Homo-oligomer: A and B are copies of this chain.
Amino acid sequence: MNNFVFYNPTKILFGKNQIQLLGKEMKSNNVKKVLILAGGGSIKQNGVYDVTIKTLSKEGIESVEVWGVRPNPTLDHANEAIKIARDNNVDAILAIGGGSVIDESKSIAAGFYLDNLWDVFEKKALIEKALPIYTILTLSGTCSEMDPFAVLSNEAEQKKWGMGSPLLFPKVSVIDPSIQMSLPWHQTVNGGIDAISHTMEFYFLGTNEEITISMDEAIINTIIKSIDALQVDSKDYSARSNLAWCATLALNGNSGVALKGGDWASHRIEHGISALHPEVAHGAGLAVVFPNWIKYCASENPAQFKRFAEKIWNCDNIEDAVEKMKSKFRSWSAPTTLRDLNIEKSEIEAIADNALNIGNLGAVKPLTREDVIKILEFSY
């Protein structure tokens, strides 16, 4: 195994009714006034908002609210929220939502102390301080609830980029799988495919990290089983909770132990897609790109790709495995081609250029512009 550092101080409160405990957690960390960040109004319909306000006020914690975080959250919205956070002198942020809301909350937490938030994404500034972050997760997938990373879209420059800092680990995250029971089907699927993809970004670098690799297989197999079960009964709590915890494990450090930081080419190609097509959900873009990345790169570390075929798809070669994977995604009504995403063939070069605009791409196989174009052509 390669050397590695493992560090993840986020406290997770997992399960039914755990939101009620959040006020106490925040009070014990001396939070007095919090910025609540959220997307649309769904948390007002499903009761999450009310329970949250109750646990905060029970502990005497004041709050100010910012709504309207979009899927593929934007720099502009984050900057507006930073202004409100400063004007109201908050001392913490509480993100209520999925990965988009939590990612934006990290940008706000860091940006609160910065002159120009985007500088961090451009690696022109360092995060030396950040507001403490609390989260209530409403959609499992990104693992933003238990990782130190954030992705943000700079619309003016058509850049969807990421950043991270140990200061951005959420302090406490609540994962109550029961509040995900009423999610639209495609959101459950997108979250699951995102989590499978996170695991795969590490997996294919495997050589002799037996424990990480076999845990990764446990994660991927459990996600597939859980989504299949939810397709039969979307209120299956056992499946919902296994899926939720798998999505957290897929990027909280465990799935990547000793795997050199991962590959991330598929994610970056997907960011190229959704930078140009903000209407494309991240998980949907990954469902299209990742199987074709596998097909294109399988000769690089053949033993590991063969193991993937055997342990996940119960077949003995990667071509069949990719077909089975696509067919599984289709059975979940996920897209598997760029056409399914309503993207034209003529856009492939622009997507490739966008994916490459942050520098070198890929670790299993370092990808040139031509490689990315071929993967996107496979995906068409």
Q: Write the residues of chain A forming the contact surface with B, with a CB cutoff of 8 angstroms.
A: 1-18, 177, 208-212, 214-215, 217-219, 221-222, 225-226, 237-238, 241-242, 245-246, 249, 254, 257-258
> Could you say which of B1, B217, B241 contacts A242, with CB atoms under 8 Å apart?
B1
- A5 — which chain B residues lie within 8 A by C-beta? 11-14
Q: How far is the CB of A141 from chain B (nearest CB, A)?
A: 15
7 contacts between A and B (CB under 8 A): A1-B237, A4-B14, A5-B13, A6-B12, A6-B14, A7-B10, A210-B238
Of the candidates A9, A11, A18, A211, the one having the most CB atoms from chain B within 10 angstroms of its own CB is: A211
**Closest residue of B by beta carbon distance from A5:** B13
Given A7-B11, A7-B12, A15-B1: A226 touches B238 (CB 8 Å cut-off): no
Q: How far is the CB of A142 from chain B (nearest CB, A)?
A: 17
A-B pairs with lowest CB-CB distance, top 8: A3-B15, A214-B218, A9-B9, A1-B241, A6-B12, A7-B11, A208-B238, A211-B222
Of the candidates A2, A14, A18, A246, the one having the most CB atoms from chain B within 10 angstroms of its own CB is: A14
Q: How far is the CB of A11 from chain B (nearest CB, A)?
A: 4
* Copies of the chain in the assembly: 2
Q: How far is the CB of A173 from chain B (nearest CB, A)?
A: 10
The answer to whether B225 touches A219 (Cβ under 8 A) is no
CA distance A147 to B123 in the complex (A): 35
Known contacts A210-B238, A210-B242; 18 additional CB pairs below 8 A are: A1-B238, A1-B242, A3-B14, A3-B16, A4-B12, A4-B14, A5-B11, A7-B11, A8-B9, A209-B242, A210-B222, A210-B226, A211-B218, A211-B222, A211-B249, A215-B218, A215-B249, A245-B257
CA distance A254 to B222 in the complex (A): 15
